[in-house]
Amino acid sequence: MSETSTLISCTGRITRAELAQVPTPPSTATHVPIPHAAVVEALVDTLSHRQISVLDEEFAVSKDGMEMFGVLDLATGFEGCRFAIGVRNANNKRFRLACTVGLRVFVCHNLAFRGDFSPVLAKHSKHLSLEDTLSIGVDRMQRNFEPMRQQVESWRAQQMSAAVAKLTIYRAFIEGDLDVPRHLARRVHELYFNPQHEEFQPRTMWSLSNAFTSAFKELDPIPQFRATAKLGGFLEVVAAE
């Protein structure tokens, strides 16, 4: 499992070459299926034109091959962080073609789909231009790289006293401000006050955020996704106080 992206599938993972072998159903007057491999190839090509390379990728399809889910870890990022993209495509009208980007991305066959920003959501119609849709989407992604970087840098600069850090952990687990398993409170405390990596030695909001997300790794993938999804909003409230 990547530090940046998580893909959960009940059918196992496949390569991009195997994805190209998945059949595409015929079009109708109102619905034009898109080959899953064509989505991925167009996305990677669009990224390449903007000098964004893919370091790693994982894909999965539903049992009938009609739905595709994937994650791509990008070379683009900044000190200590790297961006990832989640992508999904359905040729059975269950959901639209979509992409999401973030410092942590989660894609699951149960339709859990999370990043920091989702710039692509397109219906499979005869008027859809895959290249144009992805080109606009990737441009939007690039514009949001900087705001995401700024938030991390802001948290890195926000110093925390031991008392405030302990109170934040208490509020999260004991007062229930964050709906996550209480047994992780001690683990968050240990990871924050005795960090395992030099990057998180400073007593900052960013280090505390890492302590939470590292503790969440003890959960199964879907509960981990839910906990991580709630964490950002909780810490934003704390940071603003």
Q: 10-65 pLDDT, tens per residue?
A: 889 999 999 999 999 999 888 889 999 999 999 999 999 999 999 999 999 999 99
pLDDT at 162: 96
Average pLDDT of the segment spanning 119-128: 83
pLDDT at 1: 43
From residue 220, give the alpha-carbon distance in Å to each of 4, 84, 225: 16, 21, 9
Instruction: State how far the Cα of 192 lies from the Cα of 189, in Å rounded to an integer.
Output: 5
pLDDT at 229: 85
Q: What is the pTM of this model?
A: 0.86
Instruction: State how far the Cα of 120 lies from the Cα of 105, in Å rounded to an integer.
Output: 15
Q: What is the largest CA-CA distance in the chain?
A: 63
Instruction: State how far the Cα of 120 lies from the Cα of 158, in Å rounded to an integer.
Output: 33
Scanning 158-220, the segments in alpha helix (DSSP H) are: 162-173, 185-193, 205-216
